Copies of this chain bind each other. A is one copy, B any other.
Amino acid sequence: MTRQDSFLDAFFGPKSIALIGVTTRFGFGAGLPRFMIKSGMRDKLYLVNPKIKEMEGLPVYRSVKEIPNTIDLACILVPASAVGGVLNECLEKGIKAVIVMSAGFAETGDDGRAMQEKLVRMARSAGARLLGPNCVGVVNVPGRFATCEVLLEHLQPGPISIIAQSGVFGNILLDWAPSQGIPIAKVATIGNRADIDEADLLEYLHQDPDTKVIVLYLESLQRPGHFLEVAQRTSMDKPILVYLGGETEAGRRATMSHTGSLGGSRPIEEGLLRQAGLLMATDPIELFDMARTFAFCPLPEGNRILVVTSSGSLGVMAADTLLKEGLSLPLLSEQARAHIREKAPPWMNVGNPLDVGPSGIFNHALEAALREPGIDGIIIFPIIPWAVISPVLESNPEVVAGMFVREGPMSGQPLPRPIIASVLGHPAWKDSVARFFGNKVPIVSSPQAAARSMAALYRYAKWRGVRETPAAVAHYGA
């Protein structure tokens, strides 16, 4: 796929940025320039406020038109009533990319909607494009650029990009991502999406070489027909995971006053999204569970799943959910079972779930399973009671994970099929396992989540009709 220039390049990688409406009072107008300077953007930054002379050692200009350089991107922070005048100056300056962060537009009613529509007409007639209003703009983690109060050095660069309708929610996801092991490429918050919308951003992320998995939080679809067409095309190359808010009447009232969204019929919308290959999440936890899974795992070639566990109960939970999701739990071949039995204690049933209990042969069983051609995906619950493991962990934090998956398929090469883990119990054990697995085996929130994430992988693989692992998904980090 050859990458074409896009009007969105100026939003994600501008060489010069004007922040219009910075303030000295506590709040976004004061915090944003500080954060951008802290994240290394001082040289690109031009501050504007007619009442201030200097801030953080930078000159503050009376108007954007007084800035002695060309400006690639303008971020407008002034109150809603002043946005029109400021936008006009930006357009006169020749700026083609504008983020309106200010709230007080369509989400407040018809007058606000008329105001934001006027802004779009102004921008478009000058050949400029507008993101927002009522948003916090964009983040580009590998590009070290952000228009919101986020510490770029805390974010792990990686293959997941996010389009969030809500600014605050986008910020929450960014705050949450490091602790959740979510490696991020780009984030865009679209707010009231008066001009640029989710379909524009989807097209952009489809072409973006850093993005392998796309996560969407939307409260409605702006241009459903166009969006579905773009989404279906994008899904053929990159999985799209969606949480759609505003499902019920109360939810819709809330979205209306949140981002001015007017939704369509939800069951129909969801059906259309599924047909276009999109994967639906039921809450933010599942959205992140699925994002990790799609970012780290190759696609399964079929629906035959093996569960390897040291806790019988967690195995039962996964088995229940896998079957409800339409996946199957075949037995291993007689040969593989005999191989596992060689090291198994007499009380161990070599079934599926394969409950190894405290036998100590987790790794032996997992390696046998990875060699088995009749298994398309593996779910693992590598659990050891903390009391048993903590003395060992103290003396050598890394060796312990090796007790489970020491060598062979888990080291070196990309995995031949998806492995999804869930690790309940002591947080330090989970951390130790996570360090060992790295970006190879996603750790999701529960046994049920592991089964649902595997089901989502399988549904997507089936939708794409591919039998081979898509190179982009399997090898991004290998």
Rounded to whole angstroms, the CA-CA distance of A168 and B312 in the bound complex is: 8
Indicate whether A302 reaches chain B with its CB closer than 8 angstroms. Answer: no
Rounded to whole angstroms, the CA-CA distance of A351 and B249 in the bound complex is: 13
Indicate whether A282 reaches chain B with its CB closer than 8 angstroms. Answer: yes
- CB-defined contacts of A357 to chain B, threshold 8 Å: 103, 168
Could you tell me the distance in whole angstroms from the C-beta of A149 to the nearest C-beta in chain B?
3
Could you tell me the distance in whole angstroms from the C-beta of A386 to the nearest C-beta in chain B?
4
Given A151-B387, A246-B320, A387-B150, A313:B169 Cβ within 8 A: yes
Indicate whether A104 reaches chain B with its CB closer than 8 angstroms. Answer: yes
Question: Which residues of chain A from 23 to 39 have a CB within 8 Å of any chain B CB?
Answer: 27-28, 31, 35
Tell whether, in the assembled complex, residue A104 and residue B346 are in contact, meaning their CB atoms are under 8 Å apart.
Answer: yes
- CB-defined contacts of A108 to chain B, threshold 8 Å: 346-347, 349
Tell whether, in the assembled complex, residue A319 and residue B149 are in contact, meaning their CB atoms are under 8 Å apart.
Answer: no
Binary interface encoding of chain A residues 446-462 relative to chain B, with 1 for a CB under 8 A from any of its CBs, else 0 = 11110000000000000
Indicate whether A116 reaches chain B with its CB closer than 8 angstroms. Answer: no
Measured CB to CB, the nearest residue on chain B to A426 is B175
Given A28-B358, A319-B250, A320-B246, A168:B383 Cβ within 8 A: yes
Rounded to whole angstroms, the CA-CA distance of A104 and B358 in the bound complex is: 13
Given A151-B387, A425-B175, A312:B259 Cβ within 8 A: yes
- CB-defined contacts of A172 to chain B, threshold 8 Å: 311, 313-314, 383, 385, 424-425
Indicate whether A316 reaches chain B with its CB closer than 8 angstroms. Answer: yes
Measured CB to CB, the nearest residue on chain B to A313 is B169
Copies in the complex: 2
Binary interface encoding of chain A residues 304-321 relative to chain B, with 1 for a CB under 8 A from any of its CBs, else 0 = 000000111111110110
Rounded to whole angstroms, the CA-CA distance of A245 and B324 in the bound complex is: 13
Rounded to whole angstroms, the CA-CA distance of A149 and B390 in the bound complex is: 11
Measured CB to CB, the nearest residue on chain B to A310 is B168
Indicate whether A251 reaches chain B with its CB closer than 8 angstroms. Answer: yes
Indicate whether A166 reaches chain B with its CB closer than 8 angstroms. Answer: yes
Given A283-B448, A315-B254, A245:B320 Cβ within 8 A: yes
Tell whether, in the assembled complex, residue B253 and residue A320 are in contact, meaning their CB atoms are under 8 Å apart.
Answer: no
Tell whether, in the assembled complex, residue A314 and residue B169 are in contact, meaning their CB atoms are under 8 Å apart.
Answer: yes
With beta carbons under 8 angstroms apart, the residue of B103, B346, B385 that contacts A149 is B385
Tell whether, in the assembled complex, residue A251 and residue B351 are in contact, meaning their CB atoms are under 8 Å apart.
Answer: no
Tell whether, in the assembled complex, residue B448 and residue A319 are in contact, meaning their CB atoms are under 8 Å apart.
Answer: no
Tell whether, in the assembled complex, residue A385 and residue B175 are in contact, meaning their CB atoms are under 8 Å apart.
Answer: yes
What is A's interface to B at a CB cutoff of 8 Å? Answer: 27-28, 31, 35, 80, 103-104, 107-108, 148-151, 164-166, 168-169, 171-172, 175-176, 179, 217, 219, 245-251, 253-255, 257-259, 282-285, 310-317, 319-320, 322-324, 329, 346-347, 349, 351-353, 355, 357-358, 383, 385-388, 424-427, 429, 445-449
